[in-house]
A and B are shown apart, each in its own frame.
Chain A
Protein backbone atom coordinates (compact mmCIF):
# COMPACT_ATOMS: atom_id res chain seq x y z
CA UNK A 1 0.00 0.00 0.00
CA UNK A 2 1.29 3.43 -0.81
CA UNK A 3 1.90 5.87 2.04
CA UNK A 4 0.43 8.80 0.10
CA UNK A 5 -1.98 8.93 -2.86
CA UNK A 6 -2.13 11.32 -5.80
CA UNK A 7 -5.40 12.76 -4.45
CA UNK A 8 -3.74 13.48 -1.12
CA UNK A 9 -0.90 15.28 -2.88
CA UNK A 10 -3.46 17.38 -4.79
CA UNK A 11 -5.16 18.26 -1.50
CA UNK A 12 -1.83 19.20 0.13
CA UNK A 13 -0.99 21.35 -2.90
CA UNK A 14 -4.26 23.26 -2.45
CA UNK A 15 -3.54 23.74 1.27
CA UNK A 16 -0.06 25.07 0.47
CA UNK A 17 -1.29 27.35 -2.35
CA UNK A 18 0.68 25.63 -5.10
CA UNK A 19 -1.07 25.36 -8.48
CA UNK A 20 0.61 22.11 -9.57
CA UNK A 21 -0.05 20.64 -13.02
CA UNK A 22 -0.98 17.00 -13.73
CA UNK A 23 2.59 15.92 -14.49
CA UNK A 24 3.89 17.46 -11.28
CA UNK A 25 1.20 15.69 -9.26
CA UNK A 26 2.05 12.30 -10.79
CA UNK A 27 5.77 12.79 -10.30
CA UNK A 28 5.48 14.13 -6.74
CA UNK A 29 3.07 11.41 -5.60
CA UNK A 30 5.59 8.70 -6.51
CA UNK A 31 8.55 10.56 -4.96
CA UNK A 32 6.73 11.51 -1.77
CA UNK A 33 5.57 7.93 -1.33
CA UNK A 34 9.20 6.81 -1.41
CA UNK A 35 10.36 9.58 0.95
CA UNK A 36 7.56 9.09 3.47
CA UNK A 37 8.13 5.31 3.52
CA UNK A 38 11.81 5.98 4.30
CA UNK A 39 11.29 8.60 7.02
CA UNK A 40 8.53 6.58 8.74
CA UNK A 41 11.31 4.78 10.63
CA UNK A 42 11.18 7.64 13.17
CA UNK A 43 8.05 5.96 14.54
CA UNK A 44 9.93 2.84 15.70
CA UNK A 45 12.84 4.89 17.10
CA UNK A 46 10.50 7.14 19.07
CA UNK A 47 8.65 4.39 20.90
CA UNK A 48 8.38 4.91 24.64
CA UNK A 49 8.12 7.92 26.88
CA UNK A 50 10.46 10.43 25.26
CA UNK A 51 9.79 14.18 25.51
CA UNK A 52 9.84 16.01 22.15
CA UNK A 53 12.46 18.68 21.33
CA UNK A 54 11.33 21.51 19.10
CA UNK A 55 14.63 23.28 19.42
CA UNK A 56 18.32 22.86 20.19
CA UNK A 57 18.40 25.43 22.98
CA UNK A 58 16.36 25.64 26.17
CA UNK A 59 14.72 28.89 25.11
CA UNK A 60 12.36 31.29 26.77
CA UNK A 61 10.70 34.21 25.04
CA UNK A 62 12.92 37.26 24.68
CA UNK A 63 11.35 40.66 25.17
CA UNK A 64 12.69 44.12 24.53
CA UNK A 65 11.51 47.32 26.25
CA UNK A 66 8.28 48.58 24.66
CA UNK A 67 9.84 51.67 23.16
CA UNK A 68 9.39 53.11 19.70
CA UNK A 69 12.40 52.52 17.42
CA UNK A 70 13.04 53.66 13.88
CA UNK A 71 11.74 51.22 11.27
CA UNK A 72 11.42 51.23 7.49
CA UNK A 73 9.93 54.29 5.83
CA UNK A 74 6.78 53.71 3.73
CA UNK A 75 8.86 54.14 0.57
CA UNK A 76 11.37 51.51 1.71
CA UNK A 77 8.62 49.08 2.72
CA UNK A 78 6.81 49.47 -0.61
CA UNK A 79 9.93 49.56 -2.76
CA UNK A 80 9.83 45.87 -3.80
CA UNK A 81 6.03 45.51 -3.93
CA UNK A 82 4.53 44.05 -7.12
CA UNK A 83 1.83 46.77 -7.11
CA UNK A 84 1.34 49.93 -5.05
CA UNK A 85 -1.54 52.39 -4.72
CA UNK A 86 -1.83 55.39 -2.38
CA UNK A 87 1.15 54.27 -0.25
CA UNK A 88 -0.39 50.82 0.21
CA UNK A 89 0.23 47.32 -1.14
CA UNK A 90 -2.25 46.81 -3.98
CA UNK A 91 -3.53 43.20 -3.98
CA UNK A 92 -5.96 41.19 -6.14
CA UNK A 93 -9.54 40.92 -4.88
CA UNK A 94 -9.94 38.87 -1.74
CA UNK A 95 -13.77 38.73 -1.60
CA UNK A 96 -16.27 37.61 -4.26
CA UNK A 97 -18.76 40.00 -5.95
CA UNK A 98 -21.69 38.83 -3.84
CA UNK A 99 -19.95 39.32 -0.51
Chain B
Protein backbone atom coordinates (compact mmCIF):
# COMPACT_ATOMS: atom_id res chain seq x y z
CA UNK B 1 0.00 0.00 0.00
CA UNK B 2 3.00 2.27 0.61
CA UNK B 3 3.75 3.07 -3.04
CA UNK B 4 0.06 3.51 -3.76
CA UNK B 5 -0.14 6.26 -1.11
CA UNK B 6 3.05 7.87 -2.40
CA UNK B 7 1.80 7.91 -5.99
CA UNK B 8 -1.35 9.83 -5.01
CA UNK B 9 -1.45 13.59 -5.34
CA UNK B 10 -1.71 15.49 -2.07
CA UNK B 11 -5.35 16.27 -2.86
CA UNK B 12 -6.12 12.58 -3.47
CA UNK B 13 -4.22 11.51 -0.35
CA UNK B 14 -6.11 14.08 1.75
CA UNK B 15 -9.43 12.78 0.38
CA UNK B 16 -8.45 9.14 0.95
CA UNK B 17 -7.54 9.90 4.58
CA UNK B 18 -10.75 11.90 5.09
CA UNK B 19 -12.75 8.95 3.68
CA UNK B 20 -11.06 6.54 6.08
CA UNK B 21 -9.34 4.60 3.27
CA UNK B 22 -5.95 5.39 4.81
CA UNK B 23 -4.71 6.97 8.02
CA UNK B 24 -2.28 9.82 8.62
CA UNK B 25 0.01 7.31 10.32
CA UNK B 26 0.03 5.03 7.25
CA UNK B 27 0.79 7.98 4.97
CA UNK B 28 3.62 9.16 7.25
CA UNK B 29 5.04 5.65 7.48
CA UNK B 30 5.01 5.24 3.69
CA UNK B 31 6.91 8.49 3.18
CA UNK B 32 9.36 7.82 6.04
CA UNK B 33 10.17 4.46 4.43
CA UNK B 34 10.63 6.13 1.07
CA UNK B 35 12.99 8.71 2.65
CA UNK B 36 15.01 5.90 4.20
CA UNK B 37 15.26 4.15 0.84
CA UNK B 38 16.40 7.04 -1.37
CA UNK B 39 17.87 9.69 0.92
CA UNK B 40 21.38 8.25 0.62
CA UNK B 41 21.55 9.29 -3.03
CA UNK B 42 19.47 12.51 -2.85
CA UNK B 43 20.37 14.15 0.52
CA UNK B 44 17.29 16.36 0.51
CA UNK B 45 16.85 16.44 4.31
CA UNK B 46 18.91 17.94 7.12
CA UNK B 47 16.69 16.47 9.79
CA UNK B 48 14.26 13.55 9.88
CA UNK B 49 12.90 12.19 13.14
CA UNK B 50 10.61 9.20 12.69
CA UNK B 51 9.14 9.30 16.19
CA UNK B 52 8.26 13.02 16.12
CA UNK B 53 6.60 12.60 12.73
CA UNK B 54 4.61 9.51 13.74
CA UNK B 55 3.48 11.23 16.96
CA UNK B 56 2.15 14.13 14.88
CA UNK B 57 0.37 11.70 12.56
CA UNK B 58 -1.22 9.86 15.49
CA UNK B 59 -2.42 13.20 16.88
CA UNK B 60 -4.09 14.06 13.54
CA UNK B 61 -5.81 10.67 13.40
CA UNK B 62 -7.01 11.25 16.98
CA UNK B 63 -8.36 14.70 16.11
CA UNK B 64 -10.30 13.19 13.23
CA UNK B 65 -11.58 10.32 15.39
CA UNK B 66 -12.78 12.91 17.91
CA UNK B 67 -14.93 14.46 15.19
CA UNK B 68 -12.90 17.60 14.56
CA UNK B 69 -13.49 19.34 11.22
CA UNK B 70 -10.17 19.26 9.38
CA UNK B 71 -9.00 20.86 6.14
CA UNK B 72 -8.42 19.13 2.76
CA UNK B 73 -4.75 18.38 3.52
CA UNK B 74 -5.20 16.96 7.03
CA UNK B 75 -2.99 13.91 7.45
CA UNK B 76 -0.92 14.73 4.35
CA UNK B 77 2.83 14.87 5.01
CA UNK B 78 4.89 17.99 4.26
CA UNK B 79 8.60 18.83 4.36
CA UNK B 80 9.71 22.26 5.62
CA UNK B 81 12.67 24.19 4.31
CA UNK B 82 15.01 24.49 7.28
CA UNK B 83 14.52 28.26 7.37
CA UNK B 84 11.10 28.06 9.10
CA UNK B 85 11.29 27.79 12.88
CA UNK B 86 9.93 24.58 14.40
CA UNK B 87 9.78 23.96 18.14
CA UNK B 88 9.98 20.17 17.83
CA UNK B 89 12.82 19.95 15.28
CA UNK B 90 16.14 21.80 14.88
CA UNK B 91 16.23 24.92 12.66
CA UNK B 92 19.62 25.71 11.15
CA UNK B 93 19.17 27.61 7.84
CA UNK B 94 21.91 25.13 6.73
CA UNK B 95 24.48 27.19 8.64
CA UNK B 96 27.11 26.09 11.15
CA UNK B 97 26.28 29.21 13.18
CA UNK B 98 22.86 27.65 13.96
CA UNK B 99 23.89 23.99 14.11
CA UNK B 100 21.51 22.08 16.46
CA UNK B 101 19.57 25.29 17.24
CA UNK B 102 16.06 24.70 18.60
CA UNK B 103 13.81 27.77 18.34
CA UNK B 104 11.45 28.65 21.19
CA UNK B 105 8.48 29.31 18.85
CA UNK B 106 6.89 28.09 15.60
CA UNK B 107 6.83 30.15 12.38
CA UNK B 108 3.34 31.17 11.28
CA UNK B 109 3.67 28.91 8.21
CA UNK B 110 4.67 26.00 10.45
CA UNK B 111 1.93 26.72 13.00
CA UNK B 112 -0.85 27.09 10.42
CA UNK B 113 0.04 23.83 8.68
CA UNK B 114 0.21 22.08 12.05
CA UNK B 115 -3.26 23.43 12.83
CA UNK B 116 -4.53 22.28 9.40
CA UNK B 117 -3.37 18.76 10.28
CA UNK B 118 -0.36 18.40 7.97
CA UNK B 119 2.34 16.08 9.29
CA UNK B 120 5.95 17.29 9.17
CA UNK B 121 8.40 14.74 7.69
CA UNK B 122 11.48 16.81 8.43
CA UNK B 123 13.53 19.86 7.56
CA UNK B 124 15.07 20.19 4.09
CA UNK B 125 18.49 21.27 2.93
CA UNK B 126 19.08 24.69 1.40
CA UNK B 127 21.76 27.19 0.51
CA UNK B 128 23.03 28.69 3.77
CA UNK B 129 20.58 31.43 4.86
CA UNK B 130 18.84 30.96 1.46
CA UNK B 131 21.76 32.55 -0.40
CA UNK B 132 22.39 30.62 -3.59
CA UNK B 133 20.86 28.95 -6.61
CA UNK B 134 22.13 25.38 -6.28
CA UNK B 135 21.97 24.28 -2.59
CA UNK B 136 25.75 23.81 -2.79
CA UNK B 137 26.17 26.61 -0.23
CA UNK B 138 24.74 24.39 2.52
CA UNK B 139 27.18 23.87 5.40
CA UNK B 140 25.97 20.25 5.52
CA UNK B 141 26.70 19.02 1.98
CA UNK B 142 24.88 19.43 -1.34
CA UNK B 143 21.53 17.95 -2.40
CA UNK B 144 21.31 16.08 -5.71
CA UNK B 145 18.76 16.47 -8.48
CA UNK B 146 16.60 13.31 -8.76
CA UNK B 147 16.50 13.65 -12.57
CA UNK B 148 20.30 13.38 -12.71
CA UNK B 149 22.20 13.02 -9.44
CA UNK B 150 25.34 14.60 -10.93
CA UNK B 151 23.40 17.87 -11.17
CA UNK B 152 22.10 20.50 -8.73
CA UNK B 153 18.44 20.60 -7.63
CA UNK B 154 18.42 24.41 -7.92
CA UNK B 155 18.31 26.67 -4.93
CA UNK B 156 18.08 28.02 -2.47
CA UNK B 157 15.13 25.70 -1.63
CA UNK B 158 16.85 22.73 -3.33
CA UNK B 159 16.22 20.26 -0.50
CA UNK B 160 12.48 20.91 -0.77
CA UNK B 161 12.45 20.57 -4.57
CA UNK B 162 14.55 17.39 -4.52
CA UNK B 163 12.40 15.85 -1.76
CA UNK B 164 9.17 16.35 -3.73
CA UNK B 165 10.74 15.30 -7.05
CA UNK B 166 12.15 12.11 -5.47
CA UNK B 167 8.71 11.29 -3.99
CA UNK B 168 10.13 11.72 -0.46
CA UNK B 169 7.31 14.19 0.26
CA UNK B 170 4.08 15.09 -1.54
CA UNK B 171 4.41 18.76 -0.56
CA UNK B 172 7.11 21.08 0.69
CA UNK B 173 7.50 24.66 1.80
CA UNK B 174 10.16 27.02 0.53
CA UNK B 175 11.06 30.68 0.44
CA UNK B 176 11.58 32.83 -2.64
CA UNK B 177 13.76 35.94 -2.33
CA UNK B 178 15.08 36.08 -5.92
CA UNK B 179 13.68 32.86 -7.39
CA UNK B 180 14.49 30.33 -4.65
CA UNK B 181 11.19 28.45 -5.12
CA UNK B 182 10.53 28.90 -8.85
CA UNK B 183 14.03 28.04 -10.10
CA UNK B 184 14.42 24.79 -8.08
CA UNK B 185 10.84 23.85 -9.05
CA UNK B 186 11.71 24.40 -12.72
CA UNK B 187 14.91 22.32 -12.72
CA UNK B 188 13.28 19.49 -10.71
CA UNK B 189 10.11 19.31 -12.84
CA UNK B 190 7.73 20.61 -10.15
CA UNK B 191 5.19 23.34 -9.57
CA UNK B 192 6.48 26.12 -7.31
CA UNK B 193 4.87 29.44 -6.50
CA UNK B 194 6.02 32.77 -5.13
CA UNK B 195 2.90 34.36 -3.61
CA UNK B 196 2.32 38.11 -3.63
CA UNK B 197 4.70 39.72 -1.13
CA UNK B 198 2.75 40.09 2.12
CA UNK B 199 0.35 37.29 1.16
CA UNK B 200 2.25 34.70 3.22
CA UNK B 201 3.72 35.49 6.63
CA UNK B 202 7.43 35.96 7.30
CA UNK B 203 6.99 35.48 11.07
CA UNK B 204 9.43 32.81 12.21
CA UNK B 205 11.21 32.78 8.87
CA UNK B 206 14.96 33.31 9.35
CA UNK B 207 15.45 36.59 7.48
CA UNK B 208 17.70 37.02 4.46
CA UNK B 209 16.34 40.12 2.63
CA UNK B 210 13.17 41.18 4.40
CA UNK B 211 11.67 43.31 1.62
CA UNK B 212 11.89 40.31 -0.76
CA UNK B 213 11.56 37.07 1.29
CA UNK B 214 8.28 35.26 0.49
CA UNK B 215 7.21 31.80 1.73
CA UNK B 216 5.57 29.61 -0.90
CA UNK B 217 4.62 26.03 -1.88
CA UNK B 218 6.22 23.17 -3.85
CA UNK B 219 4.09 20.34 -5.23
CA UNK B 220 3.93 17.77 -8.02
CA UNK B 221 0.92 19.47 -9.60
CA UNK B 222 -0.78 22.87 -9.69
CA UNK B 223 -3.83 21.99 -7.56
CA UNK B 224 -1.67 20.55 -4.76
CA UNK B 225 0.46 23.71 -4.77
CA UNK B 226 -2.71 25.82 -4.58
CA UNK B 227 -4.10 23.83 -1.62
CA UNK B 228 -0.83 24.25 0.29
CA UNK B 229 -0.71 27.95 -0.64
CA UNK B 230 -4.20 28.46 0.81
CA UNK B 231 -3.41 26.45 3.94
CA UNK B 232 -0.61 28.75 5.16
CA UNK B 233 -1.52 32.13 3.61
CA UNK B 234 -3.54 35.07 4.86
CA UNK B 235 -3.16 38.02 7.20
CA UNK B 236 -0.87 37.59 10.19
CA UNK B 237 -0.69 40.29 12.87
CA UNK B 238 2.80 38.99 13.78
CA UNK B 239 4.18 40.26 10.45
CA UNK B 240 3.90 44.03 9.94
CA UNK B 241 4.21 43.57 6.13
CA UNK B 242 1.37 41.04 5.99
CA UNK B 243 -1.52 42.18 3.77
CA UNK B 244 -4.93 42.33 5.43
CA UNK B 245 -6.91 41.03 2.42
CA UNK B 246 -8.57 37.75 1.46
CA UNK B 247 -6.29 35.01 0.09
CA UNK B 248 -6.70 34.83 -3.72
CA UNK B 249 -8.84 31.80 -4.69
CA UNK B 250 -5.94 29.81 -6.10
CA UNK B 251 -7.42 26.31 -5.66
CA UNK B 252 -10.56 27.33 -7.54
CA UNK B 253 -8.34 28.80 -10.29
CA UNK B 254 -6.32 25.58 -10.46
CA UNK B 255 -9.52 23.57 -10.93
CA UNK B 256 -10.79 26.01 -13.56
CA UNK B 257 -7.61 25.68 -15.67
CA UNK B 258 -8.96 27.68 -18.60
CA UNK B 259 -7.27 30.50 -20.49
CA UNK B 260 -9.85 31.39 -23.16
CA UNK B 261 -9.75 35.15 -23.77
CA UNK B 262 -6.86 35.68 -21.33
CA UNK B 263 -4.26 38.20 -22.52
CA UNK B 264 -0.75 36.75 -22.22
CA UNK B 265 2.38 38.90 -22.61
CA UNK B 266 5.69 37.32 -23.62
CA UNK B 267 8.53 39.29 -22.00
CA UNK B 268 10.85 40.31 -24.84
CA UNK B 269 13.89 40.75 -22.58
CA UNK B 270 13.97 37.10 -21.46
CA UNK B 271 15.40 35.35 -24.52
CA UNK B 272 18.46 35.31 -26.73
CA UNK B 273 22.06 35.05 -25.57
CA UNK B 274 22.66 32.99 -22.43
CA UNK B 275 19.47 30.94 -22.87
CA UNK B 276 19.73 27.22 -23.60
CA UNK B 277 18.13 26.49 -27.03
CA UNK B 278 16.06 23.59 -25.65
CA UNK B 279 14.67 25.83 -22.90
CA UNK B 280 13.59 28.43 -25.45
CA UNK B 281 12.10 25.71 -27.66
CA UNK B 282 9.91 24.27 -24.87
CA UNK B 283 8.97 27.80 -23.78
CA UNK B 284 7.86 28.73 -27.30
CA UNK B 285 5.82 25.51 -27.54
CA UNK B 286 3.97 26.38 -24.33
CA UNK B 287 3.23 29.87 -25.65
CA UNK B 288 1.83 28.28 -28.84
CA UNK B 289 -0.17 25.91 -26.64
CA UNK B 290 -1.70 28.82 -24.71
CA UNK B 291 -2.64 30.48 -28.00
CA UNK B 292 -4.23 27.26 -29.26
CA UNK B 293 -6.34 27.18 -26.07
CA UNK B 294 -7.74 30.62 -26.79
CA UNK B 295 -5.32 32.98 -25.04
CA UNK B 296 -4.37 36.20 -26.83
CA UNK B 297 -0.59 36.32 -26.99
CA UNK B 298 1.40 39.54 -27.51
CA UNK B 299 5.03 40.50 -27.01
CA UNK B 300 5.69 42.96 -24.17
CA UNK B 301 8.84 44.97 -23.61
CA UNK B 302 10.04 45.60 -20.04
CA UNK B 303 13.38 47.40 -20.59
CA UNK B 304 14.23 47.77 -16.89
CA UNK B 305 14.29 43.99 -16.45
CA UNK B 306 17.76 44.05 -18.05
CA UNK B 307 19.04 45.80 -14.91
CA UNK B 308 17.02 43.77 -12.37
CA UNK B 309 19.81 41.29 -11.60
CA UNK B 310 22.26 44.12 -10.88
CA UNK B 311 19.76 45.92 -8.64
CA UNK B 312 18.97 42.69 -6.80
CA UNK B 313 22.64 41.95 -6.07
CA UNK B 314 22.86 45.32 -4.32
CA UNK B 315 19.51 45.32 -2.51
CA UNK B 316 19.54 41.70 -1.27
CA UNK B 317 23.13 41.79 0.10
CA UNK B 318 22.45 45.18 1.72
CA UNK B 319 19.46 43.81 3.59
CA UNK B 320 21.35 40.59 4.39
CA UNK B 321 24.32 42.46 5.88
CA UNK B 322 21.90 44.18 8.25
CA UNK B 323 19.73 41.12 9.02
CA UNK B 324 22.66 38.81 9.75
CA UNK B 325 24.13 41.24 12.29
CA UNK B 326 21.86 39.47 14.78
CA UNK B 327 24.20 36.46 14.75
CA UNK B 328 26.49 37.91 17.39
CA UNK B 329 27.32 34.81 19.51
CA UNK B 330 25.58 36.26 22.55
CA UNK B 331 22.01 34.95 22.87
CA UNK B 332 21.85 31.79 20.76
CA UNK B 333 23.84 29.87 18.18
CA UNK B 334 27.56 29.24 17.93
CA UNK B 335 30.13 31.01 20.15
CA UNK B 336 33.83 30.57 19.31
CA UNK B 337 37.02 31.72 20.98
CA UNK B 338 35.49 32.72 24.33
CA UNK B 339 38.54 31.73 26.41
CA UNK B 340 38.21 34.44 29.07
CA UNK B 341 40.84 36.69 27.49
CA UNK B 342 39.00 37.89 24.39
CA UNK B 343 36.55 40.80 24.24
CA UNK B 344 32.94 40.41 23.10
CA UNK B 345 33.84 42.06 19.81
CA UNK B 346 36.69 39.61 19.15
CA UNK B 347 34.45 36.66 20.01
CA UNK B 348 31.81 37.99 17.59
CA UNK B 349 34.28 38.32 14.74
CA UNK B 350 35.77 34.85 15.35
CA UNK B 351 32.34 33.23 15.67
CA UNK B 352 31.02 34.82 12.49
CA UNK B 353 34.18 33.88 10.57
CA UNK B 354 33.82 30.26 11.69
CA UNK B 355 30.03 30.05 11.52
CA UNK B 356 29.32 31.59 8.10
CA UNK B 357 30.25 30.00 4.76
CA UNK B 358 31.92 31.77 1.80
CA UNK B 359 28.76 32.98 0.00
CA UNK B 360 27.28 34.45 3.18
CA UNK B 361 30.56 36.28 3.92
CA UNK B 362 30.69 37.52 0.32
CA UNK B 363 27.19 38.97 0.56
CA UNK B 364 27.71 40.54 3.99
CA UNK B 365 30.82 42.34 2.70
CA UNK B 366 29.09 43.35 -0.54
CA UNK B 367 26.09 44.70 1.38
CA UNK B 368 28.26 46.55 3.87
CA UNK B 369 30.08 48.14 0.92
CA UNK B 370 26.84 49.15 -0.87
CA UNK B 371 25.50 50.76 2.31
CA UNK B 372 28.69 52.55 3.33
CA UNK B 373 28.96 56.30 3.33
CA UNK B 374 30.28 57.58 0.00
CA UNK B 375 28.89 54.60 -1.96
CA UNK B 376 25.31 54.53 -0.67
CA UNK B 377 23.82 56.81 -3.36
CA UNK B 378 25.78 55.28 -6.21
CA UNK B 379 24.91 51.68 -5.37
CA UNK B 380 22.04 51.12 -2.92
CA UNK B 381 20.30 54.36 -3.92
CA UNK B 382 20.53 53.64 -7.65
CA UNK B 383 19.33 50.08 -7.10
CA UNK B 384 16.25 51.40 -5.31
CA UNK B 385 15.54 53.68 -8.27
CA UNK B 386 15.81 50.69 -10.62
CA UNK B 387 13.30 48.97 -8.35
CA UNK B 388 10.87 51.79 -9.10
CA UNK B 389 11.47 51.35 -12.85
CA UNK B 390 10.75 47.63 -12.57
CA UNK B 391 7.49 48.28 -10.73
CA UNK B 392 6.53 50.78 -13.45
CA UNK B 393 7.32 48.27 -16.22
CA UNK B 394 5.09 45.69 -14.53
CA UNK B 395 2.30 48.23 -14.06
CA UNK B 396 2.48 49.31 -17.72
CA UNK B 397 2.50 45.67 -18.85
CA UNK B 398 -0.48 44.71 -16.69
CA UNK B 399 -2.46 47.61 -18.18
CA UNK B 400 -2.46 45.62 -21.42
CA UNK B 401 -2.13 41.95 -20.46
CA UNK B 402 -3.46 39.72 -17.67
CA UNK B 403 -0.24 37.72 -17.14
CA UNK B 404 3.36 37.78 -18.33
CA UNK B 405 5.26 34.62 -19.27
CA UNK B 406 8.93 33.68 -19.65
CA UNK B 407 11.19 30.70 -19.11
CA UNK B 408 11.65 30.26 -15.33
CA UNK B 409 15.42 29.79 -15.63
CA UNK B 410 17.76 30.31 -18.59
CA UNK B 411 19.09 26.74 -18.46
CA UNK B 412 18.18 23.29 -17.14
CA UNK B 413 19.89 21.95 -13.99
CA UNK B 414 23.66 22.47 -14.21
CA UNK B 415 26.33 20.01 -12.99
CA UNK B 416 27.37 20.08 -9.32
CA UNK B 417 30.51 22.17 -8.89
CA UNK B 418 30.21 23.96 -12.23
CA UNK B 419 29.48 27.43 -10.82
CA UNK B 420 30.63 27.23 -7.18
CA UNK B 421 33.63 29.49 -7.67
CA UNK B 422 32.03 31.83 -10.21
CA UNK B 423 29.43 33.88 -8.31
CA UNK B 424 28.32 35.90 -11.35
CA UNK B 425 27.57 32.71 -13.33
CA UNK B 426 25.61 31.35 -10.35
CA UNK B 427 23.62 34.59 -10.04
CA UNK B 428 22.45 34.30 -13.68
CA UNK B 429 20.23 31.35 -12.70
CA UNK B 430 17.81 33.92 -11.21
CA UNK B 431 17.75 36.24 -14.21
CA UNK B 432 14.07 35.73 -15.05
CA UNK B 433 12.69 35.37 -11.53
CA UNK B 434 14.18 38.45 -9.81
CA UNK B 435 11.94 41.22 -11.26
CA UNK B 436 8.88 39.68 -9.58
CA UNK B 437 10.58 39.79 -6.17
CA UNK B 438 11.63 43.42 -6.60
CA UNK B 439 8.07 44.40 -7.57
CA UNK B 440 6.36 42.14 -5.02
CA UNK B 441 3.82 40.56 -7.35
CA UNK B 442 2.89 36.89 -7.77
CA UNK B 443 4.47 34.22 -9.99
CA UNK B 444 4.43 30.47 -10.51
CA UNK B 445 6.62 27.94 -12.33
CA UNK B 446 5.04 24.94 -14.03
CA UNK B 447 6.83 22.15 -15.96
CA UNK B 448 6.58 22.62 -19.74
CA UNK B 449 8.64 19.71 -21.07
CA UNK B 450 12.13 18.24 -21.21
CA UNK B 451 14.93 20.01 -23.04
CA UNK B 452 15.84 17.91 -26.10
CA UNK B 453 19.61 18.28 -25.63
CA UNK B 454 19.79 16.89 -22.06
CA UNK B 455 16.37 15.41 -21.26
CA UNK B 456 16.01 17.64 -18.18
CA UNK B 457 12.90 19.58 -17.04
CA UNK B 458 12.11 23.08 -18.25
CA UNK B 459 9.85 25.49 -16.35
CA UNK B 460 7.36 28.03 -17.65
CA UNK B 461 7.09 31.12 -15.45
CA UNK B 462 3.71 32.86 -15.21
CA UNK B 463 3.76 36.31 -13.57
CA UNK B 464 0.59 38.02 -12.34
CA UNK B 465 -0.19 41.32 -10.59
CA UNK B 466 -0.08 41.59 -6.80
CA UNK B 467 -3.02 39.78 -5.17
CA UNK B 468 -3.94 38.17 -8.51
CA UNK B 469 -2.04 34.95 -7.73
CA UNK B 470 -5.08 33.03 -9.00
CA UNK B 471 -4.30 34.06 -12.60
CA UNK B 472 -0.87 32.42 -12.43
CA UNK B 473 -2.46 29.21 -11.11
CA UNK B 474 -5.13 29.30 -13.81
CA UNK B 475 -2.55 29.51 -16.60
CA UNK B 476 -0.28 26.95 -14.93
CA UNK B 477 -3.14 24.48 -14.57
CA UNK B 478 -4.19 24.93 -18.21
CA UNK B 479 -0.66 24.19 -19.45
CA UNK B 480 -0.37 21.22 -17.08
CA UNK B 481 -3.68 19.76 -18.27
CA UNK B 482 -2.79 20.19 -21.96
CA UNK B 483 0.62 18.54 -21.52
CA UNK B 484 -0.92 15.69 -19.51
CA UNK B 485 -3.45 15.10 -22.25
CA UNK B 486 -0.74 15.16 -24.94
CA UNK B 487 1.61 12.72 -23.13
CA UNK B 488 -1.04 10.64 -21.40
CA UNK B 489 0.76 10.81 -18.05
CA UNK B 490 1.85 13.11 -15.22
CA UNK B 491 5.07 15.01 -15.78
CA UNK B 492 7.05 13.33 -12.98
CA UNK B 493 6.22 9.84 -14.25
CA UNK B 494 9.16 10.38 -16.63
CA UNK B 495 11.60 10.87 -13.75
CA UNK B 496 14.09 8.13 -12.77
CA UNK B 497 12.70 8.42 -9.22
CA UNK B 498 9.06 7.91 -10.22
CA UNK B 499 7.27 5.31 -8.10
Contacts and interface: CB of A to CB of B under 8 A. Distances in A.
B147 interface: no
A59 B210 CA distance: 13
Interface residues of A, number: 54
Contact of A52 (B237, B388, B441): B388
Interface in B210-252: 211-212, 237, 240-241, 243
Contact of A83 (B338, B346, B358, B383): B338
Contacts, number: 183
A28 B362 contact: yes
Chain B, interface size category, equals 35 or more
B423 to A, nearest CB: 6
B424 interface: yes
Contacts of B328: 17
B385 A36 contact: no
Given A18-B349, A51-B385, A80-B104, A93 B365 contact: no
B310 A42 contact: yes
A55 B329 CA distance: 30
A52 B387 contact: yes
Contacts of A61: 240
Contacts of B304: 45
Contact of A9 (B104, B343, B365): B365
Contacts of A77: 104
Contacts of A53: 384-385, 387-388, 391
Interface string B365-399: 11011001000001101111111110100000000
Given A19-B350, A50-B389, A38 B310 contact: yes
A83 B344 CA distance: 13
Contacts of B423: 31, 34-35
A71 B105 CA distance: 10
A34 B424 contact: yes
**B198, B330, B365, most chain A CB atoms within 10 A:** B365
Contacts of B131: none
B344 A18 contact: no
B411 to A, nearest CB: 19
B78 interface: no
Interface of A: 4, 8-9, 12-21, 24, 28, 31-32, 34-36, 38-43, 45-46, 50-57, 59, 61-62, 64, 72, 76-77, 79-83, 89, 91-94, 96
Given A39-B314, A56-B198, A79-B104, 16 more contacts: A9-B365, A12-B368, A16-B325, A21-B353, A31-B423, A38-B313, A42-B382, A46-B383, A50-B388, A57-B440, A59-B240, A62-B240, A80-B103, A81-B330, A83-B338, A91-B344
